[in-house]
Amino acid sequence: MNGPVLSLVLPIYNEEEIIPELDRRLKTFLANVGAGVGEDWEVVFVNDGSRDKSLPMLLELVAAEPRYKLLSFSRNFGHQLAITAGVDRAEGEAVVVMDADLQDPPEVVADMLTKWREGFDVVYAVRGKRHGETLFKRFTAAAFYRIFQRLLGSLKIPLDTGDFRLMSRQVVMTLRALREQHRFVRGMVSWVGFKQTAVRYDRPARVAGETKYPFSKMLRFAIDGITSFSVIPLRVATWLGIVAGFGTMIVAAWAVYEKLFGRGVVQGWTTIMILVGLGSSAQLLMTGILGEYVGRIYEEVKRRPLYVVAEERNFPPPRGS
C-alpha cells in the first residue's frame, strides 16, 4: 500500500493551551496545500509523556480525523526521541518535522514542498527574525551554532536552523537505520548528506504556553550535539597536557635558578599555587569530558529501545498481523 504524499510530524509535550489553535491552523493549511498533495496527507502527533490535558485533547482530534495519527509514550523521553518516533512511523513521500507551538508556521511547508518538487531531498528552514525570544537566548543559540561548526570540521550543519525541515523518503529511510541513544537529529540529517537547500522565514512568538527548552535543557542539548559529532573535546586533553608541561618546565627552571644564583630560598608560593590550581582544574575538566564520552558508550552497549509507546491511534495494523 502506497503512503501519503505528505507527513507532518509534531512532538507534543504539555501543549493543552495550543492544541485547539494548532488544529485550526493545520486544517486550514492542509485544505489549501496544493503542490500535488491534495487530500493525500497525514499528521503524526507524538505525545511525549504530557502531564496536562494534551493526551485527552489529542485523542479527541484523532477520533474525529482519521488522517490524524497519534503515538503516546509511556513517559517523557525527550524532544529528539519524539521526533525519532514520528519519523519512524511516518509514511509520506515527504516528511516534515515541526514544533507544535506554531513557532514553526505550517504555511512555510508550502515553500518546502516547492523545493522538494525541484529535486531536493532535505529542505531546512533558516530563521530570520526570532520574535518572542530573549536577547540571551538569541545570543547563546547563535554562539552555539558557530562554535559547533568549528568543532565539526568537514561536516556542515546550517546556521540558525532548528529541526523544522522537510525530508524525502530516501532520507527518512536512511535516518531510521541510525539508532544511537543520544540523538541530535539536525546533525544526523546533515550527516546523511543528499541534496539539501534552505528556505527562510521569520519565526513568530509562541501562541501560548511556555518554552520547553529552558537553559538547563539547552545546555544538555548542546552537549549532546557536540559529543555526538566531534571528538575535539577529547583532543583538548593533549593540548592542556602540553601547556601544563611547558608551564612546569618554566617553573622548574626558575626554581633551580633561584636555588643556585638567588638567595637560596625559592620564592613564588603564590605562582606555584596558581599553577597547581590551574593544573587541577584542567584535570577535573578532562575527567568530566572523558566521563561524558564513556557514559555514552555505556548507554549504547545496553541496546535498550529508544522509546516505549504506550498507545497509538489510526495507524494501520503491522504487516503480517
Can you tell me whether residue 46 is helix, strand or coil? strand
- Residue 95: helix, strand or coil by DSSP? strand
Q: What are the DSSP calls for 277-296, one per residue?
A: HHHHHHHHHHHHHHHHHHHH
Local confidence band at 48 (pLDDT 50, 70, 90 cut-offs): very high
pLDDT digits (tens, 9 = 90+) for 54-79: 999 999 999 999 999 999 999 999 88
Q: Could you give the CA distance from residue 267 to residue 258 in angstroms, rounded to a whole number?
A: 8
Contact 43, 69 (CB under 8 A): yes
Mean pLDDT score of the chain: 78
Task: Report the length, in residues, of the chain.
Answer: 321
Q: Which of 105-109, 112-116, 212-216 has the lowest mean pLDDT?
A: 212-216
- Pick from 227, 217, 219, 220: nearest CA to 187: 227
CATH code 3.40.50.300 for 6-230+305-313: no
To the question of pTM greater than 0.75 for the whole model, the response is no
| Residue 305 pLDDT exceeds 80 | yes
Q: What share of the chain is helix, strand, coil (3-state, %, to 5)?
A: 50, 15, 35
Q: What percent of the chain has pLDDT over 70?
A: 62
Predicted confidence at residue 67, as pLDDT, reads 92
Average pLDDT value for residue range 17-39: 84
**Burial of 269 per CB tally in 10 Å (0-12, 13-18, 19+):** exposed
Which cell numbers hold the place of 248?
612546569
Residue-wise pLDDT for 235-286, tens only, equals 666 666 666 666 666 666 666 666 666 655 556 655 665 666 666 666 766 7
What is the reported pLDDT for 96? 94
Q: What is the predicted pLDDT for the residue at 253?
A: 67
Output 266 or 111, whichever has higher pLDDT.
111
Instruction: Give percent of the chain with pLDDT exceeding 90.
Output: 27
> Do the bridges between strand 94-97 and strand 6-12 make them parallel or antiparallel, or are there none, so unpaired?
parallel
pLDDT of 284 reads 66
- CA dist 158 and 105 (Å) reads 19
pLDDT tens across 125-174, in order?
Answer: 888 776 555 666 666 666 666 666 666 666 677 777 778 899 999 999 99
The whole-angstrom separation of Cα 80 and Cα 182 is: 9
Structural element, H or E, at residue 227: helix 215-229
What DSSP character marks residue 162?
Answer: E
pLDDT digits (tens, 9 = 90+) for 172-198: 999 898 888 878 888 888 888 889 998
- Cα radius of gyration rounded to whole Å, the chain: 25
Asked if residue 32 has pLDDT above 90, the reply is no
pLDDT number for residue 176: 92
The answer to whether residue 208 scores a pLDDT higher than 60 is no
Comparing CA positions, the residue from 53, 49, 37, 45 lying closest to residue 76 is 49
| For residues 220-249, average pLDDT | 63
Give residue 321's pLDDT. 47
End-to-end CA distance of the chain: 15
